Amino acid sequence: MIYAVGDIHGQLEKLQSLLRKLKSAGMQDHSTLVFVGDYIDRGPDTAGVLRLLINLQSSRPNTVFLRGNHEQMMLDARQRLDPSFDGNNPAGNTESGVFWFNEGGIQTLRSYGTRLDRQWTAMVPDEHWRFMLSTRLEYEEGDYVFVHAGVLPPGMEWSMGDFDADPRLWIRTQFHISESDFGGRTVVFGHTPTRDERPIMLWNKIGIDTGAGYGGPITAVGLPSFYDRDQVQIIQS
Protein backbone atom coordinates (compact mmCIF):
# COMPACT_ATOMS: atom_id res chain seq x y z
CA MET A 1 0.00 0.00 0.00
CA ILE A 2 0.87 3.65 -0.50
CA TYR A 3 -0.12 5.90 2.39
CA ALA A 4 -1.04 9.57 2.03
CA VAL A 5 -1.59 12.12 4.81
CA GLY A 6 -3.81 15.17 4.48
CA ASP A 7 -3.43 18.74 5.74
CA ILE A 8 -1.92 19.04 9.23
CA HIS A 9 -1.97 22.79 10.01
CA GLY A 10 0.19 22.85 13.11
CA GLN A 11 -1.65 20.06 14.93
CA LEU A 12 1.27 18.16 16.46
CA GLU A 13 -0.68 15.96 18.87
CA LYS A 14 -3.07 14.87 16.12
CA LEU A 15 -0.15 14.09 13.84
CA GLN A 16 1.55 11.99 16.51
CA SER A 17 -1.70 10.10 17.08
CA LEU A 18 -2.16 9.52 13.35
CA LEU A 19 1.36 8.16 12.89
CA ARG A 20 0.79 5.65 15.70
CA LYS A 21 -2.47 4.57 14.07
CA LEU A 22 -0.77 4.18 10.69
CA LYS A 23 1.67 1.69 12.18
CA SER A 24 -1.20 -0.20 13.78
CA ALA A 25 -2.99 -0.19 10.40
CA GLY A 26 -0.07 -1.99 8.78
CA MET A 27 2.21 0.72 7.41
CA GLN A 28 5.76 -0.63 7.15
CA ASP A 29 9.05 1.25 7.38
CA HIS A 30 9.55 0.69 3.64
CA SER A 31 6.01 1.78 2.67
CA THR A 32 5.71 4.94 0.60
CA LEU A 33 4.29 7.72 2.77
CA VAL A 34 3.18 10.93 1.05
CA PHE A 35 2.28 14.14 2.85
CA VAL A 36 0.21 16.48 0.67
CA GLY A 37 1.27 19.77 2.30
CA ASP A 38 -0.08 22.48 4.59
CA TYR A 39 1.98 21.44 7.59
CA ILE A 40 1.92 24.94 9.04
CA ASP A 41 -0.44 27.72 10.22
CA ARG A 42 -3.69 27.90 12.21
CA GLY A 43 -2.84 25.20 14.76
CA PRO A 44 -0.81 25.68 17.95
CA ASP A 45 2.50 23.98 17.13
CA THR A 46 3.82 24.48 13.61
CA ALA A 47 7.38 24.41 14.97
CA GLY A 48 6.81 21.00 16.56
CA VAL A 49 5.18 19.62 13.42
CA LEU A 50 8.12 20.64 11.25
CA ARG A 51 10.61 19.15 13.72
CA LEU A 52 8.75 15.84 13.60
CA LEU A 53 8.56 15.84 9.80
CA ILE A 54 12.26 16.64 9.47
CA ASN A 55 13.03 13.65 11.71
CA LEU A 56 10.80 11.48 9.50
CA GLN A 57 12.62 12.76 6.43
CA SER A 58 15.92 11.46 7.81
CA SER A 59 14.56 8.15 9.18
CA ARG A 60 12.11 7.08 6.43
CA PRO A 61 13.69 7.22 2.95
CA ASN A 62 10.35 6.47 1.26
CA THR A 63 8.61 9.53 2.67
CA VAL A 64 7.54 12.25 0.22
CA PHE A 65 6.73 15.82 1.27
CA LEU A 66 4.65 17.98 -1.04
CA ARG A 67 4.30 21.73 -0.72
CA GLY A 68 1.01 23.30 0.29
CA ASN A 69 -0.15 26.82 -0.44
CA HIS A 70 0.54 27.74 3.20
CA GLU A 71 4.21 26.77 2.94
CA GLN A 72 4.30 28.72 -0.31
CA MET A 73 2.81 31.80 1.34
CA MET A 74 5.34 31.63 4.18
CA LEU A 75 8.22 31.34 1.72
CA ASP A 76 6.78 34.21 -0.30
CA ALA A 77 6.44 36.35 2.82
CA ARG A 78 10.11 35.83 3.59
CA GLN A 79 11.15 36.51 0.01
CA ARG A 80 9.12 39.73 0.07
CA LEU A 81 10.38 41.02 3.42
CA ASP A 82 13.89 39.59 3.86
CA PRO A 83 16.41 41.00 1.36
CA SER A 84 18.95 38.33 2.38
CA PHE A 85 16.71 35.45 1.30
CA ASP A 86 18.13 33.72 -1.75
CA GLY A 87 16.28 30.42 -1.59
CA ASN A 88 15.15 28.52 -4.66
CA ASN A 89 11.47 29.49 -4.80
CA PRO A 90 10.39 29.05 -8.43
CA ALA A 91 6.69 28.45 -7.68
CA GLY A 92 6.42 31.56 -5.56
CA ASN A 93 5.08 35.03 -6.03
CA THR A 94 5.79 37.61 -3.39
CA GLU A 95 2.26 39.01 -3.73
CA SER A 96 0.89 35.92 -1.95
CA GLY A 97 3.21 36.64 0.99
CA VAL A 98 1.02 39.60 1.89
CA PHE A 99 -1.80 37.24 2.86
CA TRP A 100 0.20 34.79 4.96
CA PHE A 101 0.05 36.61 8.29
CA ASN A 102 -3.77 36.64 8.25
CA GLU A 103 -4.05 33.05 7.01
CA GLY A 104 -2.42 31.45 10.03
CA GLY A 105 1.03 33.02 9.91
CA ILE A 106 0.57 34.73 13.27
CA GLN A 107 -0.10 31.37 14.96
CA THR A 108 2.98 29.95 13.26
CA LEU A 109 5.18 32.75 14.56
CA ARG A 110 3.82 32.23 18.08
CA SER A 111 4.93 28.59 17.95
CA TYR A 112 8.50 29.86 17.50
CA GLY A 113 8.11 32.30 20.38
CA THR A 114 8.23 35.39 18.22
CA ARG A 115 6.01 38.25 17.17
CA LEU A 116 5.71 39.92 13.81
CA ASP A 117 8.71 42.23 13.60
CA ARG A 118 11.70 42.65 11.34
CA GLN A 119 13.53 39.74 12.97
CA TRP A 120 10.83 37.09 12.56
CA THR A 121 12.54 35.24 9.73
CA ALA A 122 15.63 34.65 11.88
CA MET A 123 13.53 33.01 14.61
CA VAL A 124 12.60 30.16 12.26
CA PRO A 125 15.47 27.62 12.19
CA ASP A 126 17.39 27.30 8.95
CA GLU A 127 16.53 23.60 8.75
CA HIS A 128 12.83 24.49 8.74
CA TRP A 129 13.34 26.88 5.82
CA ARG A 130 15.39 24.22 4.01
CA PHE A 131 12.68 21.64 4.60
CA MET A 132 9.99 23.87 3.11
CA LEU A 133 12.16 24.67 0.10
CA SER A 134 12.83 20.96 -0.45
CA THR A 135 9.14 20.08 -0.80
CA ARG A 136 7.78 18.95 -4.17
CA LEU A 137 4.79 20.20 -6.12
CA GLU A 138 3.75 16.78 -7.43
CA TYR A 139 4.50 13.09 -6.99
CA GLU A 140 3.43 10.12 -9.09
CA GLU A 141 3.47 6.47 -8.16
CA GLY A 142 1.55 3.60 -9.68
CA ASP A 143 -2.11 4.42 -10.21
CA TYR A 144 -1.89 7.79 -8.43
CA VAL A 145 -0.72 11.37 -8.72
CA PHE A 146 -0.38 13.34 -5.49
CA VAL A 147 -0.66 17.14 -5.34
CA HIS A 148 -1.70 19.64 -2.71
CA ALA A 149 -4.76 21.32 -4.24
CA GLY A 150 -5.51 19.51 -7.49
CA VAL A 151 -4.68 19.43 -11.18
CA LEU A 152 -5.80 21.81 -13.91
CA PRO A 153 -8.11 19.73 -16.13
CA PRO A 154 -7.20 19.42 -19.81
CA GLY A 155 -8.40 22.30 -21.98
CA MET A 156 -9.02 24.69 -19.10
CA GLU A 157 -7.25 27.99 -18.40
CA TRP A 158 -5.99 29.01 -14.98
CA SER A 159 -5.77 32.39 -13.30
CA MET A 160 -5.42 33.64 -9.73
CA GLY A 161 -6.28 37.19 -10.69
CA ASP A 162 -3.55 39.68 -9.96
CA PHE A 163 -0.64 37.29 -9.45
CA ASP A 164 0.74 34.15 -11.03
CA ALA A 165 0.29 30.94 -9.03
CA ASP A 166 0.70 27.24 -9.66
CA PRO A 167 -2.72 25.54 -9.81
CA ARG A 168 -1.31 22.50 -7.99
CA LEU A 169 -1.10 24.73 -4.91
CA TRP A 170 -4.34 26.70 -5.22
CA ILE A 171 -6.97 25.25 -7.57
CA ARG A 172 -10.44 24.37 -6.33
CA THR A 173 -13.66 24.52 -8.37
CA GLN A 174 -12.31 23.74 -11.84
CA PHE A 175 -10.63 20.62 -10.50
CA HIS A 176 -13.42 19.55 -8.15
CA ILE A 177 -16.11 19.51 -10.83
CA SER A 178 -13.93 17.90 -13.51
CA GLU A 179 -14.85 14.51 -14.94
CA SER A 180 -11.41 14.10 -16.52
CA ASP A 181 -9.55 10.85 -15.98
CA PHE A 182 -6.34 12.89 -15.52
CA GLY A 183 -4.30 10.67 -17.79
CA GLY A 184 -5.53 7.48 -16.18
CA ARG A 185 -4.30 8.33 -12.68
CA THR A 186 -6.36 9.00 -9.59
CA VAL A 187 -5.53 12.41 -8.08
CA VAL A 188 -4.96 12.45 -4.32
CA PHE A 189 -5.19 15.96 -2.90
CA GLY A 190 -5.83 18.13 0.16
CA HIS A 191 -6.33 21.92 0.40
CA THR A 192 -10.15 22.02 0.56
CA PRO A 193 -11.52 20.79 3.90
CA THR A 194 -14.59 18.60 3.87
CA ARG A 195 -17.54 19.66 5.99
CA ASP A 196 -18.32 16.20 7.37
CA GLU A 197 -14.72 15.37 8.38
CA ARG A 198 -14.69 12.45 5.93
CA PRO A 199 -12.48 12.13 2.85
CA ILE A 200 -13.82 12.61 -0.66
CA MET A 201 -13.82 9.30 -2.55
CA LEU A 202 -14.65 9.70 -6.25
CA TRP A 203 -13.75 7.59 -9.25
CA ASN A 204 -11.05 10.04 -10.40
CA LYS A 205 -9.97 11.82 -7.21
CA ILE A 206 -9.53 11.39 -3.46
CA GLY A 207 -9.65 14.44 -1.16
CA ILE A 208 -8.01 14.01 2.26
CA ASP A 209 -8.22 17.44 3.92
CA THR A 210 -10.78 16.85 6.67
CA GLY A 211 -10.37 20.16 8.45
CA ALA A 212 -7.55 19.70 10.96
CA GLY A 213 -7.01 23.45 10.77
CA TYR A 214 -10.57 24.00 12.01
CA GLY A 215 -10.83 21.35 14.72
CA GLY A 216 -11.32 18.27 12.53
CA PRO A 217 -9.08 15.21 12.31
CA ILE A 218 -6.00 14.67 10.21
CA THR A 219 -6.85 11.96 7.69
CA ALA A 220 -4.64 9.41 5.99
CA VAL A 221 -5.53 6.85 3.36
CA GLY A 222 -3.92 3.54 2.54
CA LEU A 223 -4.11 3.03 -1.20
CA PRO A 224 -4.00 -0.31 -3.01
CA SER A 225 -1.78 -0.66 -6.08
CA PHE A 226 -4.83 -0.20 -8.33
CA TYR A 227 -7.51 2.17 -7.16
CA ASP A 228 -10.56 0.43 -5.75
CA ARG A 229 -12.65 2.55 -3.38
CA ASP A 230 -13.69 -0.54 -1.43
CA GLN A 231 -10.04 -1.38 -0.72
CA VAL A 232 -8.93 2.06 0.51
CA GLN A 233 -8.02 2.25 4.20
CA ILE A 234 -9.13 5.40 6.02
CA ILE A 235 -7.14 6.29 9.15
CA GLN A 236 -7.89 9.40 11.22
CA SER A 237 -6.25 11.04 14.23
Q: In this predicted structure, what is the pLDDT of residue 38?
A: 98
In angstroms, rounded to a whole number, what is the distance separating the alpha carbons of residues 74 and 206? Answer: 26
112-141 pLDDT, tens digit per residue, is 987 666 688 889 999 999 999 999 999 999
143-177 pLDDT, tens digit per residue, is 999 999 999 999 988 877 666 789 999 999 999 99
Start-end of H helices in 159-210: 167-170, 173-176
In angstroms, rounded to a whole number, what is the distance separating the alpha carbons of residues 132 and 17? Answer: 23
pLDDT above 70 (res 90): no
3-state secondary structure 32-85: CEEECCCCCCCCCCHHHHHHHHHHHHHHCCCEEEECCHHHHHHHHHHHHHCCCC
Residue range 2-68+135-236 forms a domain whose CATH class is: alpha beta
pLDDT above 80 (res 92): no
Q: In this predicted structure, what is the pLDDT of residue 79?
A: 85
Regarding pTM above 0.75, the answer is yes
Q: In this predicted structure, what is the pLDDT of residue 118?
A: 64
Which phi and psi angles does 89 have, rounded to 5°?
Answer: -130, 60
Percent of the chain with pLDDT over 70: 92
199-209 pLDDT, tens digit per residue, is 999 999 999 99
In angstroms, rounded to a whole number, what is the distance separating the alpha carbons of residues 78 and 208? Answer: 28
Predicted confidence band of residue 45 (pLDDT cuts 50, 70, 90): very high
Q: In this predicted structure, what is the pLDDT of residue 85?
A: 77
Q: If you average pLDDT over every residue of the chain, what do you get?
A: 93
pLDDT above 90 (res 97): no
CA 76, 7, 36, 204 dihedral sign is: negative
Q: In this predicted structure, what is the pLDDT of residue 98?
A: 79
181-205 pLDDT, tens digit per residue, is 999 999 999 999 999 999 999 999 9
pLDDT, mean of residues 85-101: 72
